[in-house]
Amino acid sequence: MESLPNNWKDIQTEIVYVVYLSTGDLPVLFSQEQIKLGIKFDQKSKHLKAIMKGLVHPRGSIGLVDSQEKGYDLKSKVLGKDGDRRFHAKYINGILHFPGFITEH
């Protein structure tokens, strides 16, 4: 496993099955669609930094929090500008998989 990069463009897709580790040793995997959404909507990599941080308290923190979307376990949460979107993920075989599902808050 590799450390999670600081930029969406540096992430390899699930086709080659590169699993990244967040700061808290949470294994994460990104689909091609998720990387495209990250490049399009997260130019400052705030969501990527939230994913890297891992699980946090849902109030006043940047990181991963519980998702309320059916079939998803966690979502990225950022504050301030760009904080109106959430990237959702689900655990598959112990790996947090980001398939490319995004909602607006």
Identify the CA nearest to 97 among candidates 105, 88, 70, 3.
88
Q: Rounded to an integer, what distance in angstroms lies between the CA atom of residue 71 and that of residue 87?
A: 13
Please measure the distance between the N-terminal and C-terminal CA atoms of the chain and give it in whole angstroms. 32
Give the pLDDT confidence score for residue 8 in this predicted structure: 79
Q: Rounded to an integer, what distance in angstroms lies between the CA atom of residue 48 and that of residue 100?
A: 13
Q: Which domains does the chain have, with CATH numbers?
A: 2-104 (3.30.2310)
Give the pLDDT confidence score for residue 16 in this predicted structure: 46
Q: Give every CB contact of residue 2 below 8 A, 6+ residues apart in sequence.
A: 18, 19, 20, 21
pTM: 0.83
**Splitting the chain (105 residues) into consecutive groups of 10 residues, what average pLDDT does each group show?**
76 61 82 91 91 89 94 93 87 93 90
